[in-house]
């Protein structure tokens, strides 16, 4: 069985579109259709139903989808084990990472890696940490560099091998025009612009928050903190892009919690009841997957 046909089949199944699959695989649509036709002939079954713009798997397609994933993963595993025998650091390394880590933490490591291992093709994908975690579980990526799920706020313990690389301190913040700041300035003449302001969690809970989306690892940390103090959060807006949250907080639309590395003079830090919040950033990998030489080199650089 031609593995390129299986790869094409899986790509269409995941994107639910022949057109998008052609763009992803850098092929023409007739070439995509030809591959699927050859696979359907080999399997003696129709694999897709195309109803207008919608592409769905047939019953036979669903059966092949499960098997094709296993076949390709086993093929890739065999290729990695054989390539590792040479001890050469070459080939393609597929990594997933969050936008925040990709912007604020990863660049020095990527630059060093590219200089030391120019023969490796880095295939970097940006996505939410939660999505990246599940993609590593499914075998789509060798490594993910993400916010590591906290077992204290997660119902299920991590099924992946996780290694913390950075401790990311989180700060409660508001914009300089927020009522929490203006009230403090009126009552305390000595308060300097942008200096930390001490408030209670009860006071903070009276104002709307702008937070990462529900079910994100960072949101779980925040909600667990409020739950322990028997406080509720009034969330006015949610987005997974921390730069967007920073902008919305800066213009006074609510309070939030942001990594300390993102803070500027445009934001005011709130010290809340001596609460210290930290999230762990690092890499995750599947315990049953043999790392390629390229992935092992990346792990070594990241520390």
The model's pLDDT over 19-73, given as tens digits with 9 standing for 90+, comes to 989 988 888 999 999 999 999 999 999 999 987 778 999 999 999 998 888 888 7
Q: Within 13 A of 265's CA, how many CA atoms are on the CB side?
A: 2
Cα separations in angstroms, 74 against 68, 99, 260 = 10, 30, 42
pLDDT for the residue numbered 184: 67
pLDDT value for 102? 93
d(CA 20, CA 22): 5
**Mean pLDDT (the chain, rounded):** 87
% of the chain at pLDDT higher than 70: 91
pLDDT at 192 over 60: no
At 193, is the pLDDT very low, low, confident or very high (cuts 50, 70, 90)? very low
**Does 193 or 92 have the greater pLDDT score?**
92
Identify the pLDDT of residue 88. 78
pLDDT grade for 194, boundaries at 50, 70 and 90 = low
The tokens for 76 are: 């890739």
CA distance 224 to 257: 13
Per DSSP, which regions of the chain are E strands?
Answer: 48-51, 54-57, 91-97, 120-126, 143-147, 161-174, 197-199, 209-211, 235-238, 256-259, 268-272, 277-285
Answer for the pair 204, 272: CB distance below 8 angstroms, yes or no: yes
Given a cut of 60, whether residue 143 has pLDDT beyond it is yes
All domains in the chain, ordered by first residue: 1-85 (1.10.10.10), 168-277 (3.40.190.10)
pLDDT exceeds 90 at position 2: no
Q: Using one digit for the tens of pLDDT, what is the confidence trace for 213-230? A: 888 999 999 999 999 888
The angle formed by the CA atoms of residues 103, 93 and 70, to the nearest 5 degrees, is 120
| Alpha carbon 184 to its chain's center | 37
**What are the two backbone dihedrals, phi and then psi, of residue 85, each rounded to the nearest 5 degrees?**
-65, -30
Q: Cα angle vertex 170, ends 123, 148, to 5°?
A: 40
| Mean pLDDT for the stretch of residues 262-281 | 91
Average pLDDT over residues 77-95: 78
| Mean pLDDT in residue range 140-157 | 74
pLDDT at residue number 289: 84
Q: Return the pLDDT at 207.
A: 94
Report, as an integer, the average pLDDT of 80-103.
84
């Amino acid at each position: 069985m031609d593995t390129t046909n299986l790869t094409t089949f899986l790509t269409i199944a995941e994107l639910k579109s022949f057109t998008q699959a052609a763009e992803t695989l850098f092929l023409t649509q007739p070439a995509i259709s030809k591959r699927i036709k050859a696979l359907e002939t080999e399997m003696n079954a129709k694999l897709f139903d195309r109803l207008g713009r919608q592409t769905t798997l047939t019953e036979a397609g669903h059966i092949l989808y499960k098997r094709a994933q296993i076949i390709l993963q086993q093929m890739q595993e065999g290729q990695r084990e054989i390539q590792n025998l040479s001890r050469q650091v070459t080939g393609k390394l597929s990594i997933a990472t969050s936008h925040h880590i990709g912007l604020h933490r990863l660049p020095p490591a990527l630059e060093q890696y590219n200089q030391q291992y120019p023969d490796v093709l880095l295939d970097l994908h940006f996505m939410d940490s939660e999505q990246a975690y599940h993609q590593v579980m499914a075998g789509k990526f060798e490594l993910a560099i993400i916010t590591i799920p906290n077992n204290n706020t997660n119902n299920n313990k991590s099924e992946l091998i996780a290694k913390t690389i950075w401790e990311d301190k989180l700060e409660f913040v508001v914009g300089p025009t927020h009522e929490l700041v203006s009230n403090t300035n009126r009552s305390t003449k000595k308060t300097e612009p942008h200096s930390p302001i001490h408030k209670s969690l009860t006071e903070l809970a009276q104002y709307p928050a702008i937070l990462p989306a529900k079910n994100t690892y960072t949101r779980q940390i925040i909600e667990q903190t409020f739950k322990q103090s028997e406080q509720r959060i009034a969330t006015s807006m949610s987005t997974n892009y921390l730069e967007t949250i920073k902008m919305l907080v800066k213009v006074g639309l609510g309070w939030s919690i942001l990594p300390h590395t993102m803070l500027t003079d445009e934001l005011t830090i709130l010290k809340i009841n001596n609460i210290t919040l930290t999230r762990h950033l690092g890499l995750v990998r599947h315990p049953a997957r043999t790392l390629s030489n390229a992935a092992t080199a990346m792990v070594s650089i990241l520390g």
